[in-house]
Amino acid sequence: DEYQAYVDKEGFVSNQQARVRMFCLAFVSGSPVLEIGLNDRRRQGKEIVRRKDILPMYTERWIRFENLDFHCTVDKKSFEEEQVVRLSPPDGTFIEICRFRVRPPKNREKPLIVKSLMKIAGSKIEIRIDAMVAAHQQRAKGTNESIRTIPCEDIVIRFPIPEAWIYIFREERHWGVGSVHSKTRRPGKVKNLKDKILGAVQQTESTLIEVAIGEAKYEHVFRAL
């Protein structure tokens, strides 16, 4: 699934688009036929339940496909008639079966909220990035149990920086030049608090990059943090 959205400084989505791509890698002998059923809205009410399924699998979300593009091995006629993707996959080849557009649901809470702030005071520059992931409760059909789901994980945020700042986040190492890595500072945890109150330990200056969770560093490929 690929999703792109333009969010203004107030947090409102001005434009969004979503695309789904399906890939297949098969190691087969002969020429078997592969059938893939999708939650096409035209198939609503035509679900088939197999006998070995103890509990039938219900589809709660039906979607409408737009701008469909198929691989040359897909039988397009059978898809128009039965709404089933049918093809004979080549052996040992990674192919893209199809790609299509879907319309994202409206009036939904954004799964990821990112706010960035840059402060410039003389020769000091502070960049602060806050990320918040929204978790929601999902209730299974026919039951009263709710499941707490997190819509996105393994998040990567890229903050582009000017070319003149690149040397600040690079350091010389034994085998060339590397990026400066961040240090984790957990909120609410202060080391040697008693000594700091008595003045026995001097306050250390803040590091170049600090994170509350995860890690941060400069990636030269993207010219960004």
CATH label of the domain that carries residue 57: 2.60.40.1170
Co-location of 162 and 152 in the same domain: no
Counting Cβ atoms within 10 Å, is residue 79 exposed (0-12), middle (13-18) or buried (19+)? Answer: buried
C-alpha distance from residue 51 to each of 35, 39, 43, 122 (Å): 19, 20, 20, 73
pLDDT at 26 over 50: yes
Co-location of 165 and 150 in the same domain: no
Q: Which is higher by pLDDT, 124 or 32?
A: 32
Return the minimum-mean-pLDDT range out of 52-56, 93-97, 206-210.
52-56
Co-location of 165 and 144 in the same domain: no
Would you give the distance in Å from CA 15 to the centre of its chain? 18
Co-location of 76 and 10 in the same domain: yes
Co-location of 43 and 72 in the same domain: yes
Percentage, residues of the chain above pLDDT 70 = 76
pLDDT at 131 over 50: yes
- Residue 63 tokens read as 């979607």
C-alpha distance from residue 26 to each of 72, 87, 94, 100, 102 (Å): 16, 12, 8, 22, 27
Co-location of 91 and 21 in the same domain: yes
Percentage, residues of the chain above pLDDT 90 = 16
Q: Quote the pLDDT of residue 201.
A: 46
Alpha helices (H) in 69-177, listed in sequence order: 76-82
Boundary residue ending a domain (63, 84, 102): 102
pLDDT at 82 over 80: yes
Co-location of 16 and 92 in the same domain: yes
Helix/strand number for the chain, H first, E second: 2, 14
- Residue 208 tokens read as 């170049």
Choose the most confident range, by mean pLDDT, from 36-40, 87-91, 114-118, 174-178.
Answer: 87-91
Q: What is the mean pLDDT of the chain?
A: 79
Owning domain of residue 214: 158-225
Whether the Cβ atoms of residue 128 and residue 117 lie closer than 8 Å to each other:
yes
Co-location of 97 and 124 in the same domain: no
Co-location of 200 and 141 in the same domain: no
Rg (CA), the chain: 26
Co-location of 25 and 114 in the same domain: no
Would you give the distance in Å from CA 161 to the centre of its chain? 22
* CA pair distance 102, 68, nearest whole angstrom: 10
Q: H or E segment at 194?
A: helix 193-198
Co-location of 182 and 145 in the same domain: no
Q: How many domains does the chain have?
A: 3
Mean pLDDT for 177-184 is 81
pLDDT at 118 over 80: yes
